[in-house]
Structure 1
Amino acid sequence: MTIEPATFSTQGVGGVRIVCDRLGDPQARAVVFLHGGGQTRRSWGRAAAAVAKRGWQAVTVDFRGHGESDWASDGDYRVSSFAADVIEVLRGLPPKPVLVGASLGGFTSMLLLGEIAPDIASAVVLVDIVPNMEQSGANRIHAFMTERVESGFGSLDEVADAIAEYNPHRPRPTDLEGLTTNLRRRGDRWYWHWDPQFISGTAKFPPIEVTEVDRMHAAVESILGNGVPMLLIRGQMSDLVSQARADEFLARFPQVEFTDVRGAGHMVAGDRNDIFADAVLDFLARRVEADT
């Protein structure tokens, strides 16, 4: 039997409403899933269910400007503001959650634990992201996100075609209605759910921190220096975290555990959810549950 998540919302920085889902016991320790740029909390559905089944509370968050959360009327899409929103979510959860952050969510986790609130979490999982990511991969993601952000799509078939072209290793979606969680309908056209300001470069406060490699390396060093365990999960076919970039990161931070997921690209949880969830649960069992 599938358990439906309970949806709740929190007021983030500047009054922006942040929408989240919860699976599992609200009193249990939490694993908080933070999606990548252009994704939503729905990206984590099956992984969150696996974590909740193991006895954790799984919380998935829509970042500001994404999914069902509010768009920032002042154009504030700094990574530090994403992190501050997450702090407000964590206020309503049991102490010392685990953060699982993909791409933008990984940068948010680095900044949150490495600079803003060092004692707020007990462990962090970075999903296909390192500070010194491959710029060519980042450019490809940016191009996909911006291509139809203003013009939208005339049908769900057009959306499915665009996704299939971007992710050729993944089967074309057959449940087109399932795509609507990533879209908003205006008139007779479909548009991506995210605020165009976030990706177009027109936001007053863009997420510039994702380009600050030295700052992010310092944040990771601070996290590890505080004894917080960290796992890097890479999609073996990723064009954002190449093997060379992963090797550089692991040589610099040998305390970080590493899992390479075969058959997965940048969207690791969606491409190979079974292996991804098992890697997270194994890490939690060894490094978090064992210490409680």
Structure 2
Amino acid sequence: MTIQTCEPGATRVTYKMDDGVTLVGEAFGAADAPPVILAHGGGQTRYAWSRVAQRLGDAGWQAVALDLRGHGESDWHEGGDYSIPRFGHDLDHVARQFGQKPVIVGASLGGNAGLLVAGQGADAPCRGLVLVDITPKIDERGVDKIIGFMGRHMDEGFASYDEAAEAIAGYTNRKGRKSNRDSLRRYLREGEDGRLRWHWDPAFIVGRKSSRMAPESLGQLEGALAAVTVPILLVRGSNSDLVNDESVAEFLKIAPQAQFRDVTGAGHMIVGDRNDVFAETLDDFLSGL
């Protein structure tokens, strides 16, 4: 792990994977404090966790928000290896870099990766797992909606930040919300042609289209959930496109010891929709450890 100076309040951290990919993250809080790893969803970056990470750092935790491979400042993989097991392998490697076992908080893709890490039973390198709007069994219609949105603007990109903001508002049904250029800079990159494109490798979404609901992936995730022995919390947005009541029922059937919280008024992006409620829910879970 290499550490460099970062923006005030955070420390830039990097982790080298066994296939040469380097992951970039930011750490908040004291380096010897109990660690919490924050893994974002597909198509996002570590900045999705900014307020949560800062809050955790101020509360006495060492919060590390990662850019997963192919996202943000982390390396793209030349061979397009963006399978869920690969993300899980990366997260496992990062979790083993600390002097004490971390709690893993994962949203969507990051949650699937965290589940594979925690699903190693007694060998799991973590002491708690928080899954943010993700379960092994999810609603395929919601997946189609998300992947459709991501793929729709993948090649041509956007002419301006306002155009990108309008597209996001249309997807989230929040038309009329003002564009936040500073925030969008964290999720978009400017190409040589001057157009703005998402800050992730297009190969990531191509792989999702062909493998997202593969039976072997579902079986692997369900097997991992059944093997989890650490405390686990599932947080669902009440308006989620992915996790419906059937998903939750199946989840609790496999892991009856898990805690479950439903966040009213939130969709799949719980942290962005109801950050205050999510932060309080996370605080309660962490204090219980």
The two structures have a TM-score, normalised by structure 2, of 0.91
Q: Which amino acid aligns with 1:248?
A: E
C-alpha distance in 1 between matches for 2:126 and 2:78: 29
Structure 2's unaligned 5+ residue stretches are 1-6
The reply on whether 1:59 has 2:67 as its aligned counterpart is: no
Greater alpha carbon shift after TM alignment, 174-183 vs 58-67: 174-183
Q: 1:131 to 1:202 in 2, by over 3 A?
A: closer
1:264 corresponds to: 266
Q: Secondary structure at the match of 2:13?
A: strand
2:111 corresponds to: 106
Task: Give the drift of 1:243.
Answer: 2.4
Task: Give the drift of 1:283.
Answer: 0.6
Q: Which amino acid aligns with 1:201?
A: G
1:191 corresponds to: 197
Task: Give the drift of 1:37.
Answer: 0.5
1:228 corresponds to: 230
Answer yes or no: is the 8 Å Cα contact 1:79–1:210 preserved in 2: no
Answer yes or no: is the 8 Å Cα contact 1:13–1:84 preserved in 2: no
Q: Which amino acid aligns with 1:283?
A: F
Answer yes or no: is the 8 Å Cα contact 1:77–1:206 preserved in 2: no
C-alpha distance in 1 between matches for 2:144 and 2:40: 18
C-alpha distance in 2 between matches for 1:207 and 1:242: 17
Answer yes or no: is the 8 Å Cα contact 2:131–2:235 preserved in 1: yes
- Within 5 A, what are the aligned runs for 1:1-292? 4-115=9-120, 118-169=123-174, 172-187=177-192, 188-201=194-207, 212-223=217-228, 227-286=229-288, 288=289
C-alpha distance in 1 between matches for 2:14 and 2:211: 24
C-alpha distance in 2 between matches for 1:210 and 1:256: 24
Task: Give the drift of 1:44.
Answer: 0.5
Structure 1's unaligned 5+ residue stretches are none
Aligned-residue sequence identity (percent) comes to 41
C-alpha distance in 2 between matches for 1:133 and 1:192: 25
Q: Secondary structure at the match of 2:76?
A: coil
- The superposition leaves residues 44-93 of structure 1 with CA deviations (integer Å, 9 ceiling, x where unpaired) of 11111121121000000111100110100121112222122223323432
Q: Which amino acid aligns with 1:29?
A: P
Instruction: Give the aligned length.
Output: 282
Answer yes or no: is the 8 Å Cα contact 2:36–2:105 preserved in 1: yes
Answer yes or no: is the 8 Å Cα contact 1:125–1:232 preserved in 2: yes
Greater alpha carbon shift after TM alignment, 246-255 vs 32-41: 246-255
- The superposition leaves residues 6-44 of structure 1 with CA deviations (integer Å, 9 ceiling, x where unpaired) of 111111131101001000001111110011110111001
Answer yes or no: is the 8 Å Cα contact 1:78–1:208 preserved in 2: no
Q: 1:177 to 1:278 in 2, by over 3 A?
A: same
C-alpha distance in 2 between matches for 1:9 and 1:94: 17
C-alpha distance in 2 between matches for 1:211 and 1:82: 16
Greater alpha carbon shift after TM alignment, 53-62 vs 83-92: 83-92
More RCO (CA 8 Å, sep 6+) = 1
Segments of 4+ moved more than 4 angstroms: 205-211
Answer yes or no: is the 8 Å Cα contact 1:106–1:127 preserved in 2: yes
C-alpha distance in 2 between matches for 1:110 and 1:148: 30
Task: Give the drift of 1:216.
Answer: 1.0
C-alpha distance in 2 between matches for 1:263 and 1:88: 35
Q: Secondary structure at the match of 1:15?
A: coil
Answer yes or no: is the 8 Å Cα contact 1:112–1:118 preserved in 2: no
Answer yes or no: is the 8 Å Cα contact 2:121–2:227 preserved in 1: no
2:3 corresponds to: none
